[in-house]
Amino acid sequence: MSRKIIIALTLLVAAAAAGWYYFDPFGNGDGLRLPGVVEIQEVRLGSKVGGRVAKVLAIEGIDVYPGAQLVMFEVPELETQRDQLKARVQSVQAELDRAVSGSRLEDIKIAEAAALAAKARHDRMEYGWREEEKQQARSDLDSAQADYNQAKEEFDRIRDLYRSRSASRAEHDLALGIQERTKGRYQAAKAKADMMKAGNRQEDKDEARADWHKAEASAGMARKSRDEEILLLRAKLAETQAKLAETEVSLKEANVVVPPELGKVRIEVVAVRPGDIVPPNQPVVRVLRVEDLWVKVFVPETQLGKVEVGAPVDVTIDSYPDKIFKGVVRQRASISEFTPRNVQSVDERRYQMFGVKIRVDDPQGVFNAGMAAQVVFRNGNSH
């Protein structure tokens, strides 16, 4: 039933209520009796993503329950995006796992070992040779000097003999060779001993110190980059998972279903057919909440005190004239809805009407929106 028809019926009921009260405000004297109209809460369902309609499962006029699918949309773009994001989540997760416990930790250990080795070289350059090495060098120098002195003396003796022709040329050359060899060993031992005594050169120390600091910086960078890499990958994983969740929510919107909070509903109008292109946020199915129906009546101002919220009432409809349905007053309007142009006398106040909503149980499902109903407010239930 269209909204215009409902409004027209409402106006008609209001006028009838005023005339009813004017001629018979208490019916047969057993309480306030007023005409009303059955109203049901209307809900328009649609999709926030829209698209091309693939299937229409809703059938007008039938009752369905929460979770029932009504309309399905084709959303291949969202499905592809979901698959891509799932693969991306797996990839980032693998990178994060490798950063936390993979080969990156081995790289850090290698960098730290290189830093320790560079520090050892620097310390050796800075502190010089060990005392044992210096003593060994001095011992080698003394030994080499002794050999050289002995070889020199032997050569001098052979040389004198050679000059006096008491020694051969071969003996002279042999003694000379031994002297030169021992002299070379002596000079090498002396240079080594002098070097150990003087220590390493300053430029060698500076170079070793620079290598050590460079290795330390590399190790620190490796440790820091691993921590930053883990934080970055965790943030990237969270972002990708959030995008995947957003896509999953959008995919759920591809199916128009009855929300859980609506309860049982009756499909009133299906506005689309397969193949239709529907923009986002456009209603495609109009349903009525079967469990959220009421009868609306209009009470004259002079009788408003007889109606209290929570009071029980009796309701009848033309389709079942002999059956009485139990109802409860759920709302009483605070502002009048229909009044004369000017209320100038006490007698005219009966034409000033206030809307009242009556909640009615309908287990058999006999009520329909727009039905005419009659509500009886018993005197005993008014106070």
DSSP secondary structure string, 309-353? TT-EEEEEETTEEEEEEEEEEEEE-SS-SB--S---SSGGGGG-E
Instruction: Report pLDDT for 108.
Output: 67
Residue 67, by phi and psi: left (phi above 0), alpha (psi -120 to 50) or beta? left
Q: In this structure, what token pair is assigned to residue 221?
A: 């960078």
Amino acid at 2: S
pLDDT digits 0-9 by tens, 13-49: 444 444 444 334 434 445 688 999 998 889 999 999 8
Distance from C-alpha of 85 to C-alpha of 241, rounded to nearest angstrom: 8
Give the other-Cβ count within 10 Å of 220's Cβ.
14
Q: Which residues contact 63 (CB under 8 A, 6 or more apart)?
A: 264, 265, 266, 267, 290, 365
Instruction: Tell me the β-bridge partners of 74.
Output: 52
Angle between helices 202-252 and 76-101 (to 10 degrees): 150
Q: In this structure, what token pair is assigned to residue 315?
A: 């309701």
Instruction: Report pLDDT for 90.
Output: 94
Distance from C-alpha of 59 to C-alpha of 265, rounded to nearest angstrom: 12
Three-state SS at 182: helix
Q: Pick from 198, 257, 327: which is nearest to 55 by CA?
A: 257
Q: In this structure, what token pair is assigned to residue 204?
A: 């060698």
Distance from C-alpha of 66 to C-alpha of 48, rounded to nearest angstrom: 19
Q: In this structure, what token pair is assigned to residue 183?
A: 């002299």
Burial 70-99 (b: 16+ CB within 10 A, else e): bbbbebeebeebbeebeebbeebeebbeeb
Distance from C-alpha of 242 to C-alpha of 250, rounded to nearest angstrom: 12
Instruction: Report pLDDT for 7.
Output: 44
Instruction: Report pLDDT for 162.
Output: 84
Strand order, beta sheet including 277-278 = 255-257, 69-74, 51-56, 277-278
Residue in the block written with tokens 């129906």: 293
Distance set, CA 347 to CA 19, 202, 298 (Å): 13, 119, 17
Q: Pick from 305, 307, 289, 288: which is nearest to 297 by CA?
A: 307
Q: In this structure, what token pair is assigned to residue 111?
A: 């960098």
Residues of the chain with pLDDT under 50: 1-29, 103, 343-345, 380-383
Angle between helices 202-252 and 104-127 (to 10 degrees): 170
CB distance 6 to 369 below 8 Å:
yes
Instruction: Report pLDDT for 204.
Output: 66
Distance from C-alpha of 278 to C-alpha of 272, rounded to nearest angstrom: 8
Give the other-Cβ count within 10 Å of 61's Cβ.
9
Instruction: Tell me the β-bridge partners of 285.
Output: 45, 270
Instruction: Report pLDDT for 209.
Output: 73
Q: Pick from 220, 228, 221, 219: which is nearest to 99 by CA?
A: 228
Q: In this structure, what token pair is assigned to residue 64?
A: 């369905």
Q: Can you list the domains of the chain with their CATH numbers?
A: 3-75+260-382 (2.40.30.170)
Q: In this structure, what token pair is assigned to residue 331?
A: 């709302």
